Chain A
Amino acid sequence: MRPTTLASQSALLNPAVLYTTLLVLGLVAPFTLYPTFLMKVLCFALFASAFNLLLGFAGLLSFGHAAFLGSAGYVCGLMMRDVGVTPELGILAGTVVAGLMGWLFGTLAIRRTGIYFAMITLALAQMVYFLVLQIKATGGEDGLQGVPRGHLFGLIDLSNNMAMYYTVYAVFCLGFFIIYRTIHSPFGQILKAIRENEPRAISLGYDVDKFKLLAFAISAALSGTAGATKTLVFQLASLSDVHWHMSGEVVLMTLLGGLGTILGPAVGGATIVTIENQLAESVGSWVTVIMGAIFVACVLLFRRGIVGEIQALLKRAGMQ
């Protein structure tokens, strides 16, 4: 029962055509671009999409999502290196631990709103950061090194970069589908209602805190999936992934791509990773300044983000 606008009739905006095109692009991409770069893009695209599920669809600004990305990376790394499990189990372990952490963070933070919610998540994430820094097993400042990629299901050797790429791609597609499904589910409908008018949702009998908590846990778990996968790719769980910088960066990715749009955060994640990759060598630490400038431009000039602005343009074109 969705309204069909003129714009959505144009071929590119037809979801089936659009998603099929993107799916094929993802399959052929490693033949023209560096697989390692692409894998990094996919990990951050998934991370930002998971973050957007919380901010864009539940209206909750977490400033502690690095804790889920980073911790899952360490859990996966330790499981792979020291326990010797297969990669899919490593990723699963990271996902489950991040989901449980999300449940815990959420339970503590969800009764607060706005800035207080953000501050509690930040404080909890900082505690995780210091724990990771202090514990011996996590390698302190050096991070967790020498993580083997292992054999997927005990069969496929992931030290082959192409095999690794398609594994990451499959993980991304699955994670993205879970997010897409969550947004377009009965649960997603209630989440949108809460975001639009929380008192009204309460007055209709919904225990809004429970819905927010589930959204938080799903978002944290999938952030963990991204972090665990990233550890496999780089064979390293890095301290910077638990640092609050990372919590800020995912906000930037989401805003840049388009808050509350489905593809936006993935686009934003890809854009930021690309910019960082291109600029890291030529401008060094000025990259931080450039990121700051992008952030300001984003908030002041195009609040809808890349995908949001494109959608608005197409809509306007469609109406004429």
Chain B
Amino acid sequence: MSDFILETVDLTKEFKGFAAVSDVNLKIRRGHIHALIGPNGAGKTTVFNLLTKFLPPTRGTIRFEGKDITHEAPAATARRGLVRSFQISATFPHLTVMENVRIGLQRKLGTAFHFWRSDKSLDVLNDRAMALLEDVDLAGFADTVTGEMPYGRKRALEIATTLALEPTMMLLDEPTQGMGQEDIARVVDLIRKVSANRTILMVEHNLSVVANLCDRITVLQRGSMLAEGSYDEVSKNPQVLEAYVGSDDMADAHH
């Protein structure tokens, strides 16, 4: 099996002639935490949408674990073990925290279409759901309606729900966005913890998070790959420095 769990070849997405992503050749090594960084509008979220099939590419191919998944349905790609989170927190706000995680666990029971069965049959998942909630420090919130939780907790819940699928690879779109120092530290620890035995590709504006978490970094600018390498390599690259000069991101990063 190849060392690279995910590869793209000349991945391109054009919106009405405007190239949001152009000729991106990503190679993500199995087991790495890989960062995708770049200024606002660089095309990072679009890359995520392409990788998880939420958008069809204009050109190019995507290979996950050696299989060409370019034309697969998004839910099928998720079932393969390539699971994403969203830039804006994605939970089910009117369901309880426990129910949110159970949605992630439920598919494996094989009863998702059973409309004649009582939902009490889902209680067999409660122990596993509780264990996942404990992993992200949310056990005390199990019965809370999700929408009533603070933002940082929702992001933690999102990770717990994603973990319920036992994904081989997780894509995290700005997991620390809009968080205070304390929440950021918690999420960084969490990502480090869950990165054991899996690969993570994350979009992150906070460069100190990138520096102490990620094995490898790809820099995107106006849809194209500007640089790739370790944090030290990338942060010394004059083109990268230039791209970040005067941009808000650099300021953000040094907070």
Flag if A205 contacts B119 (CB, 8 Å). Answer: no
Tell me if B142 counts as interface (CB < 8 A to partner A): yes
- Chain A nearest CB from B167 CB (Å) reads 10
Flag if A203 contacts B84 (CB, 8 Å). Answer: yes
- Chain A nearest CB from B148 CB (Å) reads 11
Flag if A207 contacts B73 (CB, 8 Å). Answer: yes
Known: A3-B145, A181-B115, A193-B95. A203 touches B90 (CB 8 A): yes
Flag if B74 contacts A186 (CB, 8 Å). Answer: no
Q: Mark contacts of A1-44 with chain B using CB atoms, 8 A cut-off: 1 yes-contact digit, 0 otherwise.
A: 11100000000000000000000000000000000000000000
Cross-chain contact of A203 among B74, B102, B113, B142 (Cβ < 8 A): B74
Q: Which of B65-93 contact A (CB under 8 A)?
A: 73-76, 78-79, 83-86, 90-93
Tell me if A245 counts as interface (CB < 8 A to partner B): no
- Chain A nearest CB from B2 CB (Å) reads 24
CA distance A205 to B112 in the complex (A): 11
Flag if A190 contacts B112 (CB, 8 Å). Answer: yes
Tell me if A92 counts as interface (CB < 8 A to partner B): no
Q: Which of A91-117 contact B (CB under 8 A)?
A: none
Flag if A186 contacts B94 (CB, 8 Å). Answer: no
Task: Name A's interface SS.
Answer: helix
CA distance A83 to B76 in the complex (A): 47
CA distance A186 to B94 in the complex (A): 16
Flag if B92 contacts A203 (CB, 8 Å). Answer: no
- From A260, which residue of chain B is reached at the shortest CB distance? B94
Tell me if A218 counts as interface (CB < 8 A to partner B): yes
Residues of B within 8 A of A207 (CB): 73, 75-76
Tell me if A197 counts as interface (CB < 8 A to partner B): yes
Q: Chain A CB within 10 Å — which of B78, B118, B143, B161 has the most?
A: B78
Q: How large is the interface on B (under 10, 10 to 19, 20 to 34, 35 or more residues)?
A: 35 or more
Q: Mark contacts of B142-177 with chain A using CB atoms, 8 A cut-off: 1 yes-contact digit, 0 otherwise.
A: 111100000000000000011001000000000000
Known: A1-B123, A3-B143, A207-B75. A192 touches B94 (CB 8 A): yes
Residues of B within 8 A of A206 (CB): 75, 107, 112
CA distance A187 to B115 in the complex (A): 5
Residues of B within 8 A of A187 (CB): 111-115, 117
Residues of A within 8 A of B162 (CB): 204
8 sample A-B contacts, Cβ–Cβ < 8 Å, listed by A number: A193-B92, A193-B103, A197-B90, A200-B90, A200-B91, A203-B86, A204-B103, A218-B115
**Residue ranges of A at the interface with B (Cβ–Cβ < 8 Å):** 1-3, 178, 181-182, 184-190, 192-193, 196-197, 199-208, 210-211, 214, 218
